[in-house]
Structure 1
Amino acid sequence: MGGPTNPCNRAPVMPGRIGLPRGIPMPERMLTESEGYRLLESCGIPVPPNHLATSAEDARAAAGRIGYPVVMKVISPQIVHKSDVGGVITGIESPDGAEEAFGTIMQNAAARAPEATVAGIIVEKQMPAGLEVLIGGKTDPSFGKVITFGLGGKLVELLEDVSIRVLPVTDSEIRAMIREIEGYRLIRGYRGESPKDEEALVRVIAAMAQAFIEDPRIREFDLNPVIVYEKGVSVVDARIIVGDTAGGAPARLRVRAPPDLFYPASIAVIGASASPNKVGYSVLRNLLSFPGNLYPVNPSRTELFGRKTYPSVTGIPDPVDWAVVAVPARIVPEVMEECGKKGIRLAVIVTAGFREIGGEGTVLEEKVTAIARRHGIRIIGPNCLGIMMPHMGINATFDPVSPRPGDVAFISQSGAIITTVVDWSLPEEFGFSTVISVGNQADLGFEHFLRFAEQDEKTRSVTLYVEEIQDGRGFMQIVGEVAKRKPVVAVKSGSSRKGRAAASSHTGSLAGSYDVYVAAFRQAGVIVARSLRDAFNLAELLASEGYPKGKRAIAVTSAGGFAVLASDYAETYGVDMVDLPDDVLRELNAFLPPFWNHANPMDILGDADATRFAALFDVLIRHQNFWDIVFVIAVPTTLVDPAHVANEIVRLSRNTEKMVVGCMLGGDSIRSGLRILRGSRIPNFEELEDAFKAVGSILEVGAVRQE
């Protein structure tokens, strides 16, 4: 972050002068207001002139030096909500008023908070009115320190107009953070009001962010309100929580798995069974189509599904790349020892009964992981559904159905989500390059599977279903690198507010866990989807078309109503419907009926057939310099053959480097067209709004990628 303009580069952060000597264990507590002001001043952050008075005479003298009007507040570690005990008096205009206010506050504190230890009364300049904003910070269990910005004052909890970033941040990221809230119009200047000092606000956020990063004892803070003027900024209330940094769970050893690990020539199913109610039966049955060598392992059988069965993996005479382990949890350590002797490189442990049950399960998982590391075996799972690689004929799961080959990798923290999605995908003719259930992530985790998807030639985009990430910062680094090469879409569970603690006195806590995940994903260039349907719409579109080079869009339709809706949806989701250039209009007028709307979205009238669409597409192919995205909206009519229109959409896509979005709307009558689009890897949206929502999400992340 930093730079010569950052005041924290010149001032030490939280030195011993605020009473917090380094190296001494410290329980969590809130800094007093005077301590908080000293911390802010040490970073060059503007605060009102102030003085901690210990007597009425001291308060009178301080008020005179500071200049009237002044505010006086009680300072006590036991009094958090000062106003509730009569501990705040504003608008003090005279020396006598200062003395009287001191006595009143001390009497109120003694009467309403008799157990409190009062350190004094802070006297501070009453700052003039301005735009009130907040700067908050919290320590997230997954991503570490995050910072929040939004409109401040009394309405913060009501409006919740905030933006969030995981630290560290650059000055440009801070500007983007400020400008993305709805209230930015008030900073820019609203209804004739002069603009506020945005650059001064950037400097304050940058300084506080650096202080937050550099001193591990700062756990949480809430600067609210921060008053922004036409020139300058002042923090007039600061609540800062300090304490020893809690030690998190150790990060998993991130060793990049070799790419060829995921392309086996041979697989052993340990725990293969003839009983249909056993997991080993389902796994073996699903792998019968695997073109490589398949070895069932079961000490009680000599043959399964017509294949020779071995009593132990060590009895297999040929090399084995993968082992799918489907035996009871207590046997898994013994099996892993045998896999190590055999030289197996990857164990897919579908067995449950490990860390997810706690206690002995956690101990057992650690034992299995230690054995694997000693032998150089990588692990998927345990407690996972398994892995599917449709292009290789691999379904190493106990899901009863296998997906079609495609170009979207799906990595999920829920096996049940996978079985549901695969079942949905079949009638939709949606295909996957890889489907991975991460399970407990005892060894291989999201970061390894993302790296695999990054280099896998069959994968063009990635979809994640995430419940929890332990090493958020490590994940952000890796997913951010992967997203630069291949688009990544994520669905994060847990958006409900039900379990979120009330913001109470710390508005930094408005950044609930779900909000932090969403902010972190977007910061890393990941597209966040609210539903699985939206996620796969996005993934399919990106796999086919990639990121558009800009947001200039055009829409083509034979239905006037959908042209109007296209305009509405474009405005809602931030898609720029560009004007048609004069030379393009002249070419269109040469063959379109006189009554077409002569505008974008282009309504080429209800009697349009595939030939009219084709002629218009020819114009777009010749004039690719004024547009980046085209929405082709076709509806069923007696004059339109959906297959012909679909073939023209395919031709348009192949002859441009632009994003082509299919919106063939209807039911069974358009199925022939949908099959053609699907076969050419061009996605189709059954709902027009979904198409614009998807493109808007892509444009939002595309803008972050270009910053």
Structure 2
Amino acid sequence: MPERMLTESEGYRLLDSCGIPVPPHRLVTSAGDARTVAGEIGYPVVMKVISPEIVHKSDVGGVITGIEGPDEAEEAFSAIMRNSAARAPEATVTGIIVEKQMPGGLEVLIGGKTDPSFGKVLTFGLGGRLVEFLADISIRVLPVTEDEIRAMIREIEGYRLIRGYRGEPPKDEEALVRIIATMARNFVEDPRIREFDLNPVIVYEHGASVVDARIIVGDAAGGGAARLSVRAPPDLFYPKSIAVIGASASPNKVGYSVLRNLLSFPGDLYPVNPSRAELFGRKAYPSVKAIHGPVDWAVIAVPARLVPEVMEECGEKGVRLAVIVTAGFKEIGGEGVELEERVAAIARKYGIRIVGPNCLGVMMPHMGINATFDPVSPKPGDVAFISQSGAIITTVVDWSLPEEFGFSSVISVGNQADLGFEHYLRFAEEDEKTRSVTLYVEEIQDGRGFLQIVGDVAARKPVVAVKSGSSRKGRAAASSHTGSLAGSYDVYIAAFRQAGVIPARSLRDAFNLAELLASEGYPQGKRAIAVTSAGGFAVLASDYAETYGVDMVDLPDDVLRELNAFLPAFWNHANPMDILGDADAARFAALFDVLIRHQEFWDIAFVIAVPTTLADPAHVANEIVRFSRNTEKVVVGCMLGGDSIRSGLRILRGSRIPNFSELEDAFKAVGGILEVRTARAGERSVPAREAPRRGGGR
């Protein structure tokens, strides 16, 4: 059936059948009935217009509260009918609901929507008429446990009102949990419910009640349960031989750029071009079948119409992976969709896996592989970057070179006709060169399957994600509070957090996070210390810590005594520790020794160093490296300045200790990690696949 909104009386019946408390109510169609029913329910009562076309009843004068007597009941009925006719003349009014006016309490919202990527999603937040203005909500992809519901309730800013604020008694949090859990369970189990908006739900010191319900029903969404894709073979991304089909001698052709980029590949490289005998000094072949040896990868850069024929030849040759950089498939619609389906069918017939089509390609810097048409190649590193945008990749790779930022792999997913995010995540999870993963996401089709896999991966290696499309444009036209508040971007961010993925607003933030996590792993807690030789930055560190949810702890008495033994008498005796502008590397080293001996009171250390004539940046950097290697805690480098500190930055980079050139970026990165998770019980500070880099003495 087409989607329709239940009338309020129908919605109340549904809620009542589930055991969710609602006010006593009746539907009436005349002023006389309103008078009679109001008396039977008991004053005071509320009256509301019932119309499938009127979404926000108050906006058309369709709600009257505080009705205290029979005459008021008749007049309220007439007034609502007049208001509705005047302000919503096209609406069909089926009646007016008369319901008991519930006592005042804390108003909250419980909502649900069906997201095109993640399916059924739950929303909770402060309710009432100002819900969009306040926008104080939490979101979860269903199903959820009662513990997760409690976490939802407690993470909104308004939780202080539930807990009891300024002498107000606490509200009945467990009654609220029961209502949310019941509605969430029925939303998941009843495929007809497409969206619901319970606003307000009034929470009291004892108990709670729904006093307005907007529920949209329709046919069950298609697609059924999410499909979890089969893992790709673990050695698929470690080729010994690559053919470039469409290789060219013309610099303005994609096949030229791909072949040129692969000249450094240490394995067997085969240009395929029926019009050339050799390219770049290498023998060229008329087709992939003419190559005598095995071919693991085929990078395909021929016109889209020729790709099916090339795929047949690759299948007959036994190619394992086709990287199709050619565009002109599903992304253009129409015939492109059919063409992509043909290519995918051929791949399935022969067991070929596909990257793309319509992608930039794949880079494996540790293996000398740049199977893309990007003119530059990144440095080897330990961050895997998986992106839905080729242009984002070229920009990031270009940025990474002067920053000396390296990658374990860079993958452009393209149209994902076969391999998708889930396969590349599994590869990154198993790849020994990868210590953290960064995603650039535009849209995910199988959101539930993605969440299960990315959650598994994030439990082993940190995953950071940037999601495009954060604009709120157009939400004002949504059909309900839930639709307005829980937009697609918000659902993605909530889903990421639910899976243990750390969301980032910008690519720079993402790579700051990824590098920090690749080096240091998850912090064991929020307790932080900061060391600096500049008093101004000590003050800023305190400010940024408070802004980003990092706890600056007090220094224990025994630590203070040890520090007082060698620091100048007028150091600030507090955390952040200002060890004064005349500090040299030896003073930093002595302080680090104290912190190494007393690791029980802190989880994160920010080391803030600025250019001075007394402190050689290289010596300070070496002490930061030693400090990091002798702790199981997170050490964050903040060497601030320009050319004068380059020697120190090179040392930190060589030891894979991230450095933040802006102090706020360091606290934002750590705060972003802490917002999602800290190290779990028994989990190492550094990712498990890395051989320990801690240890050794001074």
Q: In which range does the TM-score fall when normalised by the shorter chain?
A: over 0.9
- CA deviation after TM superposition for structure 1 residue 510, in Å: 1.5
Question: 2:108 maps to what in 1?
Answer: 133
What is the CA-CA distance between 1:110 and the residue it aligns to? 6.6
1:233 matches 2:208: yes
Query: Aligned partners of 1:296 and 1:499: how far apart in 2?
Result: 50
AA at the equivalent of 1:491: V
Shift in alpha-carbon separation, 1:398–1:187, aligned structure 2, 3 A: same
Q: Could you tell me which of 629, 645, 655 is aligned with 1:654?
A: 629
Match in the other structure for 2:395: 420
Which letter does structure 2 place at the counterpart of 1:577? M
> Counterparts of 1:594 and 1:113 in 2: how far apart (Å)?
76
2:668, 2:550 → 1: CA distance? 9
**Matched residue of 1:440: which SS?**
coil
Q: Is the contact made by 1:144 and 1:166 (CA closer than 8 Å) also made in structure 2?
A: yes
Question: Residue in 2 aligned with 1:541?
Answer: 516
Q: Does 1:448 align with 2:414?
A: no
For residue 412 of structure 1, report the CA deviation from its aligned partner: 0.5
Cα offset for 1:106? 5.2
Aligned mates of 1:570, 1:269 — CA distance in 2: 51
The alpha-carbon deviation at position 210 of structure 1 amounts to 1.1
Partner of residue 214 from structure 1, selected from 174, 189, 203: 189
Tell me how far apart the structure 2 counterparts of residues 82 and 480 of structure 1 sit (CA, whole Å): 41
Please name the residue that 2:684 is paired with.
none
1:227 aligned counterpart, secondary structure? strand
8 Å contact kept, 1:47–1:236: yes
**Secondary structure, counterpart of 1:45 in structure 2:** coil
What letter corresponds to residue 459 of structure 1 in structure 2?
T
Is 1:461 aligned to 2:428, yes or no? no
Aligned residues: 681
Matches within 5 A, 1:278-677: 278-503=253-478, 505-677=480-652
Using the TM superposition, name which of 480-489 and 52-61 deviates more.
52-61
Deviation of residue 118 (structure 1)?
Answer: 4.6
Tell me, what secondary structure is at the counterpart of 1:656? coil
What are the superposed Cα offsets for residues 458-499 of structure 1, whole Å, 9 maximum, x if unpaired?
000000001111111111111011000000000111111224
1:82: how far off? 3.9
Superposed, 1:46-57 pairs within 5 Å as: 46-56=21-31
The question of 1:223 aligning with 2:198 is answered: yes
Instruction: Determine the C-alpha separation between the residues in 2 that align with 1:419 and 1:128.
Output: 60
Contact kept in structure 1, 2:227 and 2:449, CA below 8 Å: no
> Is 2:686 aligned against 1:678?
no
Equivalent-residue separation in structure 1 for 2:253 and 2:90 (angstroms):
65
TM-score (norm. length: structure 2):
0.94
Query: 1:252 touches 1:443 (CA, 8 Å); kept in 2?
Result: no
- Does 1:260 find its partner at 2:235? yes
CA pair 655-104 structure 1, distance change in 2 beyond 3 A: closer
1:110-125 alignment runs, 5 A limit: 118-125=93-100
Q: Report if aligned partners of 1:407, 1:461 keep a CA contact under 8 Å in 2.
A: yes
- Deviation (angstroms), 1:410: 0.3
Q: How is 1:694-705 mapped onto 2 (pairs within 5 angstroms)?
A: 694-702=669-677
Q: Provide, for residues 683-705 of structure 1, a one-character-per-residue CA deviation record: whole Å limited to 9, x for no partner.
A: 00000000000000111111597
Q: Give deviations 1:529-574, integer Å, cap 9, x for gaps.
A: 1111110000000000000111111100011111111111111111
Q: 1:72 aligns with which of 36, 44, 47?
A: 47
- Partner deviation per Cα, 1:64-118 (whole Å, 9 max, x = no partner): 3322111122334344444455543322222444345445555666777677655
Distance 2:538 2:60 in 1: 61
Distance in 1 between residues matched to 2:427 and 2:674, nearest whole Å: 26
Partner of 2:677, secondary structure, is helix
3-state SS of the aligned residue for 2:524? coil
**Residues 141 and 248 of structure 1 are in contact (CA less than 8 Å); yes or no, is this contact kept in structure 2?**
no
Whether the 8 Å contact between 1:525 and 1:704 is mirrored in structure 2 is no
The equivalent position to 1:39 in structure 2, one of 14, 27, 31, is 14
Compute the RMSD of aligned alpha carbons: 1.9
2:475/2:484 contact within 8 Å kept: no
- Aligned equivalents of 2:633 and 2:94: distance in 1? 67
Instruction: Percent identity, please.
Output: 88
Which amino acid is the alignment partner of residue 359 of structure 1?
A: G
Deviation of 1:382 after TM superposition, in Å, equals 0.4
After the TM superposition, which of the residue ranges 69-78 and 188-197 deviates more from structure 2?
Answer: 69-78
Counterpart Cα distance in 2 of 1:704 and 1:198? 29
Give how far 1:507 is off: 3.6
Distance 2:409 2:198 in 1: 46
> Aligned-pair distance for 1:55?
5.0
Aligned letter for 1:273? S
Q: For the residues of structure 1 that align with 2:654 and 2:679, how far apart are their CA atoms?
A: 32
CA 1:418–1:499: 2 relative to 1, 3 Å? farther
CA distance in 2, matches of 1:691, 1:568: 12
Is the Cα–Cα contact under 8 Å of residues 435 and 518 in structure 2 kept in the other structure?
yes
Deviation at 1:61, TM superposition (A): 4.1
Correspondent of 1:691 among 649, 666, 689: 666
| Ranges in structure 1 where 5+ consecutive residues have no aligned partner | 1-25
Alignment match, 1:10: none
| Partner residue, 1:4 | none
Report the Cα distance in structure 2 between the residues aligned to 1:87 and 1:574, rounded to whole angstroms.
Answer: 44
- Tell whether the 8 Å contact from 1:650 to 1:680 is kept in structure 2 after alignment: yes
Measure the CA separation in 1 of the matches of 2:111 and 2:59: 23
Report deviation, 1:60: 3.8
Aligned partner letter, 2:106: L
For residues 472 and 52 of structure 2, the distance between their equivalents in structure 1, rounded to whole angstroms, comes to 31
CA distance in structure 2 between the partners assigned to 1:251 and 1:147 by the alignment: 18
In 1, Cα distance between equivalents of 2:507 and 2:53? 48
Distance 1:168 1:445 in 2: 24
Q: Is 62-71 or 371-380 further displaced after alignment?
A: 62-71
Change (3 A) 1:115 1:589: closer
Cα 1:620/1:117, change in 2 over 3 Å: closer
Mapped contact 1:239–1:506 kept (Cα < 8 A): no
CA distance in 2, matches of 1:109, 1:689: 53
CA distance in 2, matches of 1:179, 1:33: 29
User: Is there any run of 5+ residues in structure 2 with no aligned partner, and where?
Assistant: 682-698
Q: Does 1:92 align with 2:53?
A: no
CA distance in 2, matches of 1:280, 1:114: 64
Letter in 1 for 2:662: E
Match of 1:5 in 2: none
Range with bigger deviation, 379-388 or 211-220: 211-220
The one-letter amino acid paired with 2:97 is I
Determine the structure 2 residue equivalent to 1:276: 251
Give the letter for the 1:129 counterpart. G
Aligned equivalents of 1:307, 1:500: Cα separation in 2: 57
Cα offset, 1:682, TM superposition: 0.2
Change (3 A) 1:133 1:703: farther
- Displacement after TM superposition at 1:339 (Å): 0.4
